[in-house]
Each structure stands twice: as C-alpha cells, then as structure tokens.
Structure 1
Amino acid sequence: MAKYLLLKHYRGAPAPVNDVPMEKWTPEEISAHMRYMSDFAARLERTGEFVDAQALAPEGMFVRYDGEGRPPITDGPFPETKDLIAGWMVVDVDSRERAVELAGELSAAPAAGGEPLHEWIEVRPFLTVPPTITE
C-alpha cells in the first residue's frame, strides 16, 4: 500500500469544463456536491483506502522565514488567482493506477446544473524513506 495526496484545484489553469464559480451554485447544487464527496469518502472507508480529507477555506496567507525571527506574512491566496487549493484527500492504495482512478472519480463530483465539475486533481505520492542497506 502507498499513500497518495489527491489535491483539489478549484478553477485551476486550465479551467474545469464546468467553470461556474461555486458562489453562483444553488444550495441544492452545493448539497449534491458535498453529498458526492461524503459518499466517495464513505466508500473508500469501507474498502480501507481512505485516510483523511479536508476542505479548505479560501482565506489564507503565505509565511516565509526572514532570518530574524519575524516572518513576513503576505495575504493570499486570493479568489482572483487562477488556482485555489479547495481541499485534499489522502488515500492508501495498492498502486499509482488506483490513485489515478480515484482522482478521476473525484473530478466527476457534480457542479452547477448537476454536471460533472471536471476539476483538476493533483495526485502526489507521499515521500517514503528509501530502504537501508546493511551488510
């Protein structure tokens, strides 16, 4: 088993096929989207592939060490940027192919009009410690 991060890019470049901003979705469309995400996670819990998931608020900041103990803070990300990380899910699966398959399903979550969002999902394996050679 290997862990993969499925990182949800909202309104990324290139834009999803269904590019209606979520703030313009109806309450029913938002509920359908959230239900899809919940059902998806529940199914992976039953198969033992689910590790964790979180949605992220659009507010945030960037922080960087400044060498003097007072890190500068820059507001962001901003809604007008081309890319916003909407959330993530961690799965523990048997293969890279399974991680890609799950990312494809996650990308099909319903959006405005009930149509699939076609959201970009970044698939990243967790870094593992290389095996130690002993003689």
Structure 2
Amino acid sequence: MAKYLLLKHYRGAPAAVNDVSMDHWSPEEVTAHIQYMNDFAAKLEEAGEYVDGQALAPDGMWVRYDGEGRPPVTDGPFAETKDLIAGFMIIDVDGPERAVELAGELSAAPGKDGKPIHEWLEVRPLYGEPSLVTE
C-alpha cells in the first residue's frame, strides 16, 4: 500500500486549469458537490483506502522566519494567484495506477447544473512512497 495526496484546486474567477467557479453555483449545487465528496470518502473508507480528508477555509496567510522575533505575515493563502486550495484527501492504495483511477473518479464531482466539473486534481505521493512517474 502507498499513500497519495489528492489536492483540490479551485478558482474564484474563470480558470485556466479548472473551469470551476463556485461563485456561480447555487446553494443546492454546492450541497450536491459536498455530498459527492462525502459519499466518495465513505466508499474509500469502506474499501480501506481512505486515510483522511478535509475541506479548507478560503482564508489563510504566509508566515516565515525573519530572524527578528516576529515573523512577517502576508495575505494568503497564495500571494500571487487566484487559486484556492479547497481541500485534500489522503488515500492509501495499492499503487499509482489506483491513485490515478480514484482521482479520475473524484474529478467527476458535480458542479453547476449538476454536471461533472472534470476538475484537474493534483496527485502526489507522500514522501517516501512510490513515485507516480514511470519512465
């Protein structure tokens, strides 16, 4: 078994990576999307492939050590992008093929008008796990 991070990115404006703009979704569409995510996690939990997952609040900040005692803080969560890391899921699966398969299924979460959003998901092995890249 190997652990992988499925990272969900959203944008508040028209997106180059994901054509997902939740600003234009109705409350019912947001609820349906969240229910899909919860059902997906429950299915993985039943199969023993779910480790953890959380939605993230849209606010945040950047902090770094400055050597002066009070670290500087900037607005966040991203300094120069409209991307929002909306949430993550950690899965524990047999290998990279299964991680890609599950990410593809998760990408079909419903959005505007109940249609699959076909979002791009970032899939990354946790440090020390087998690579997704094969040559």
Quickly name the TM-score band, shorter chain normalised.
0.7 to 0.9
Name structure 1 gaps, 5 residues minimum.
130-135
Question: RMSD in angstroms over aligned alpha carbons?
Answer: 1.9
1:43-80 CA distances to partner (integer Å, 9 max, x unpaired)? 000100000000011101001111222111001136x9
CA distance in 1, matches of 2:3, 2:15: 26
Show structure 1 runs of 4+ deviating over 3 A. Answer: none
Shift of 1:23: 2.6
Aligned twin of 1:132: none
Measured after TM superposition, the shift of residue 13 of structure 1 is: 5.7
Paired with 1:3 and 1:111, the residues of 2 have a C-alpha distance of 27
| 1:92 positional shift | 0.2
* Residue in structure 1 matched with residue 16 of structure 2 by the alignment: 14
Q: Is structure 2 residue 59 aligned with structure 1 residue 59?
A: yes
Does 1 or 2 have the higher relative contact order (CA < 8 Å, sep 6+)? 1
The correspondence of residues 1-135 of structure 1 with structure 2, limited to 5 A, is 1-11=1-11, 14-17=16-19, 19=20, 21-77=21-77, 81-128=81-128
Distance 2:4 2:22 in 1: 26
Gaps of 5+ in 2: 130-135
